[in-house]
Amino acid sequence: MKRLAIVLAAAAIGLLAGCGPSRTPFHIIAGSEQKSLEPLILDFCKQQHTECRIDYKGSLDIGLMLDAEAAPEVDAIWPASSLWVEMYDSRRRVKALKSIYTTPVILGVRMDKAKDLGWVGRSVRMTDVLSAVKAHKLSFLMTSATQSNSGAAAYLSMLASTLGDGSRLDPSALQDAAAQAMVKTLLQGVARSSGSSGWLKDLYLDTAKAGQPYEAMWNYEAVIKEANDVLRSRGGSLLYAIYPAEGSTYADAPLGYVEHGQGQANRSFFDKLQAFLLSAKAQQQIASSGRRTAPGMASPPKSEADWNFDPSRTVPSIGLPEPAIISKSLTLYQEVLRRPSLTALCLDFSGSMQGKGEAQLKAAMRTLLNPSEASRSLIQWSRADHIIVIPFDATVRTVLEGDGDATSQARLMASVETETAGGGTDMYACASAAFKAMQPYLNKGYLPALVLMTDGRSERENDFAQVWRTEGHQIPVFGVTFGDADKTQLNQAADLTRARVFDGGKNLTEAFRSARGYN
C-alpha cells in the first residue's frame, strides 16, 4: 500500500507539472532585430520555470501569418513595428499589443566615405543622399521594403522627403511622377538587399572583416550601434550615423499575445513577460543596447560623438498615412520603383524529386510566376526584371529567359510544367550555366542573384568555388531545400558568396518568398 501511494503521488505531481505553460514551450515569433535581446527573455523564462522558444521571421512573414485563415500556432509576436499588425491582423488575433522600445531607421555611412562626402558634423537631407547616389558616389545595403520593416521605413522616409518638408508621407507622392523619379534614383543605390535587418548587419560585418566593406547601410539606430560595437572591438572603421534632417520612421517593437484558445496559463505568463520587459530593470538593460525606452524609465547609453551616435537626440518622426495607403506604397515599390532584379532559378528535376518533390516545386513556381499569387506576398516581378529558369538533373536541360511581364511569366511556367523528374544531380553544372546566361546583363543596373533549388547532393566533385571565382562575378548564391535535403553543399556555396540557405522542408512557398526578399 505504501509503494502504491508513492506511485500515485508521483503520477499526480507529474500531471500537475504538465498543467502549466512549461509543458509546451511558450512560442514567440520575433523580428531579427530582437535577437540581441533574446538572453533577456530566456533569463526571465528560466526564472519563471517556463520553457520558451523564440523563432525569427521577417515583418511580412509575421503579417501573413496573422492574416492566414488558420490561426498561427504561436503564443506571442514581437515584430519590429506595429505597422505590420495594423496592415494584416484583420481578424484581430493579437491582444494586449504594447511597445517595448523604439528606434529610428538611419543611414550608417563608412567613416571615410562620410568624410569624402562632407557629411561629418553637418545636417544631411535626403536630397543630399539622392545627389550622392545620382553622382555614383554612394551605394548602400538596405532590406527589402516589402519584406522587412527597416527597408520599409527607409523607403517610406524617401517617399515622404520628395514632397513638402518631409514631415509626413503625403499620399499624393504615390501619383507624383517627379517624386517617383527621385525615389527610383535613390533606390538605384541599393548594392545588396535582404529580408532581414539582422542578416544585413552580419553581411556588413563579414565584408568589413574581409577588408571589403560596403559603403553604407540603412538600418535601425540600435543595430548600427551593434555593428559599430563589433567594428570598434576589431579596430575597424566605424559607420557614421546620418539622421536625415527631414526625420525618420521609427520601429516601436510591440509585443502582443496571439489568441487561439491556449488557456489562461499561457495568457498569465504572457502578461508577466510583458510587464517584466516594461519594468525599470529590463528597460535599463534594453536602453544599454542603444534602444530608446519610455521617458523616465531608464538612463540612455552615453553618446559616442566619434560616430555621431546620440540616443537622447530628438529625431523627428515622419507621419505615416493609413495602412491602405502604405499598402499601395509597398506595391509601388515592388512593381515600379525598386532596383530591377536579375534572377536565375536552378530547378532540380533529378530522379529523387519524383512524386512529392516535383509537385511541390511546380506548385511553388506557380506562386512565383503567377502575378496575382505573387502579389499577395509582395514578391511580384516588375516589367524591368529579368528572369532565367534552368531545369537540371545530371546536366542542364534547357535555359529559359523572360521578364516580369505576365505573358512572359506564363511562358516560363508552361515550360516548367512540361518537365518530369529523372536522372542524376549536378547543381554545379546548372550554376555555371546560370552565370553564363547572366553575364550579358550584369552591367545594366540589375541586382543579381542565383537561387539553387534542390533536394540532394551534387554527384560530381565540388569545384563550385573555382567556378564562382572565374564565372560568378560576385553573384550571391542562395539555396532553397526540399524535404530532408543535405544542406552541406548549399551552405558552402552560400557562405562563399555571402548569401544564405532557406529551408523549404516545411513550407516551400514560404522559402521561395523569403529568397525573393534578398533580390
Query: Would 103-251+305-329 and 340-516 be classified into the same CATH topology?
Result: no
Q: What is the pLDDT of residue 358?
A: 92
For residues 37-50, give the mean pLDDT: 97
Fold of the domain spanning 340-516: Rossmann fold (3.40.50)
CA distances to 149, 248, 317 from 245, rounded to whole Å, are 21, 8, 11
The percentage of the chain sitting over the pLDDT mark of 70, rounded to a whole number, equals 95
Domain ranges of the chain: 21-101+253-288, 103-251+305-329, 340-516
**Contact partners, residue 34, CB within 8 Å, separation at least 6:** 54, 56, 78, 80, 253
For residues 435-451, give the mean pLDDT: 95
CA distance 290 to 232: 15
Give SS3 for 389: strand
Whether residue 16 is predicted with pLDDT greater than 90 in this model: the reply is: no
pLDDT per position as a tens digit, 329-345: 999 999 999 999 999 99
pLDDT class of 165 with cuts at 50, 70, 90:
low
Min mean pLDDT across 43-52, 228-237, 369-378 is at 369-378
Question: Is the separation of the CB atoms in 231 and 205 below 8 Å?
Answer: yes
Helices (DSSP H) in 278-368: which residue ranges?
A: 280-288, 323-332, 356-368
CA distance 386 to 420: 25
**Contact partners, residue 92, CB within 8 Å, separation at least 6:** none
Grid cell for residue 303: 553618446
Grid cell 505573387 in the structure block, residue: 374
Question: Is the separation of the CB atoms in 239 and 111 below 8 Å?
Answer: yes
Helices (DSSP H) in 389-507: which residue ranges?
A: 406-417, 427-438, 464-467, 488-497
Q: What is the pLDDT of residue 505?
A: 80
CA distances to 66, 251, 336 from 184, rounded to whole Å, are 31, 24, 8
Q: What is the pLDDT of residue 3?
A: 41
Q: What is the pLDDT of residue 376?
A: 87
Q: What is the pLDDT of residue 258?
A: 96
What DSSP letter does each residue of 213-268 carry, written as one string? --SEEEEEHHHHHHHHHHHHHHTPPPEEEE--TT-BPEE--EEEEE-SS--HHHHH
For residues 105-132, give the mean pLDDT: 97
Whether residue 300 is predicted with pLDDT greater than 90 in this model: the reply is: no
Q: What is the pLDDT of residue 486?
A: 81
CA distances to 32, 44, 265, 395 from 52, rounded to whole Å, are 17, 9, 14, 46
pLDDT class of 164 with cuts at 50, 70, 90:
low
Q: What is the pLDDT of residue 460?
A: 74
Fold of the domain spanning 21-101+253-288: D-Maltodextrin-Binding Protein; domain 2 (3.40.190)
Fold of the domain spanning 103-251+305-329: D-Maltodextrin-Binding Protein; domain 2 (3.40.190)
For residues 301-312, give the mean pLDDT: 94
pLDDT per position as a tens digit, 138-157: 999 999 999 999 999 999 99
Q: What is the pLDDT of residue 389?
A: 98
Grid cell 534632417 in the structure block, residue: 245
Angle at 172 between CA 170 and CA 178, to 5 degrees: 105
Grid cell 529523372 in the structure block, residue: 422
DSSP 442: T
Whether residue 360 is predicted with pLDDT greater than 70 in this model: the reply is: yes
Whether residue 14 is predicted with pLDDT greater than 70 in this model: the reply is: no
Q: Which amino acid would we find at residue 330? A: L
pLDDT per position as a tens digit, 47-99: 999 999 999 998 989 999 999 989 899 999 999 999 999 999 999 999 999 99
Question: Is the separation of the CB atoms in 197 and 148 below 8 Å?
Answer: yes
Q: What is the pLDDT of residue 15?
A: 38
Q: What is the pLDDT of residue 426?
A: 92
